Chains A and B, each alone.
Chain A
Amino acid sequence: GAGVSQTPSNKVTEKGKYVELRCDPISGHTALYWYRQSLGQGPEFLIYFQGTGAADDSGLPNDRFFAVRPEGSVSTLKIQRTERGDSAVYLCASSLNRDRGTGELFFGEGSRLTVL
């Protein structure tokens, strides 16, 4: 597609529920990133994919968070047993092969998650 697409744009759920957030990167971009942004803060790194594999998942806060990218394109961020502290905007970004060092990430509009 023309840009990074994220769905849903808004998700309200109850504490303890399971949620999935989807990211469709720019066509041809091999690198995909998930960030989380809380109100008044900068984005916080969660996980980075190069192709199908997670090259760096050091930012995932705990084992309730998991992300996949089975075919090297669309990615899904999965959050189990949601907690109120998970409420944030989840941003997805993509870029050309990171090793080329272009430095420019293209961000989606984000998925706003609210856990009641």
Chain B
Amino acid sequence: EDKVVQSPLSLVVHEGDTVTLNCSYEVTNFRSLLWYKQEKKAPTFLFMLTSSGIEKKSGRLSSILDKKELFSILNITATQTGDSAVYLCAVVLYNQGGKLIFGQGTELSVKP
């Protein structure tokens, strides 16, 4: 059975800290891995990763994929209270159209 596992499930840090969120997967026909941020309701897209070892970066957020060890990490540096959210990892498979397989999410809380 295809599955995506995220860790930790929840995390509390203080502003200015750096955090690393983990996503591991066991799937057949891997195509790409996506990261989303979910603050209240609608998940918003952060990154799509398809190739190993190539870091994607957007401001204080960055992410990388390791297709050999089957995991991805999402780094957030100099965290701010506005980074508080649930971070979702999802895997896209070949030959399965629009079906994303999500992990259970990591709930990040950034305290002032």
A residues contacting B by CB (< 8 A) are 4, 31, 33, 35, 40-45, 48, 50, 55-56, 58-59, 89, 91, 95, 98, 101-110
Q: B48 contacts the other chain (Cβ, under 8 Å)?
A: yes
Residue in chain A with minimal CB distance to B49: A103
- Cβ 8 A contact of B99, one of A42, A59, A95, A110: A59
Q: Cβ of B48 and Cβ of A103 under 8 Å apart?
A: yes
Using C-beta atoms within 8 Å of the partner chain, give the interface range for chain B. Answer: 20 to 34
> In the complex, what's the smallest C-beta–C-beta distance from A51 to chain B, in angstroms?
12
Q: Cβ of B104 and Cβ of A40 under 8 Å apart?
A: yes
Q: Cβ of A55 and Cβ of B97 under 8 Å apart?
A: yes
Q: B65 contacts the other chain (Cβ, under 8 Å)?
A: no
Q: Cβ of B97 and Cβ of A108 under 8 Å apart?
A: no
A33 neighbours in B (Cβ, 8 Å): 98, 100
Q: Cβ of B98 and Cβ of A56 under 8 Å apart?
A: yes
Interface 1/0s, chain B 83-110, versus A by CB < 8 A? 0000010101000111111111100000
Q: Cβ of B45 and Cβ of A42 under 8 Å apart?
A: no
Q: Cβ of B105 and Cβ of A42 under 8 Å apart?
A: yes
Interface 1/0s, chain B 1-12, versus A by CB < 8 A? 000101000000
Q: CA–CA, A104 to B92, complex, Å? A: 10
What is the predominant secondary structure among interface residues of chain B facing chain A? strand
- Cβ 8 A contact of A45, one of B32, B42, B101: B101
- Cβ < 8 Å to A, chain B residues 1-40: 4, 6, 31-32, 34, 36, 40
- Cβ < 8 Å to A, chain B residues 42-91: 42-45, 48, 50, 88, 90
Q: Cβ of B92 and Cβ of A44 under 8 Å apart?
A: no
Residue in chain A with minimal CB distance to B6: A42
Q: Cβ of B98 and Cβ of A103 under 8 Å apart?
A: no
Q: CA–CA, A42 to B101, complex, Å? A: 9
> In the complex, what's the smallest C-beta–C-beta distance from B24 to chain A, in angstroms?
14
6 pairs of residues in contact across A and B, judged by CB atoms under 8 Å: A41-B104, A43-B90, A48-B98, A89-B41, A105-B34, A105-B100
Known contacts A101-B31, A103-B32; is A44 also within 8 Å of B102 by CB? yes
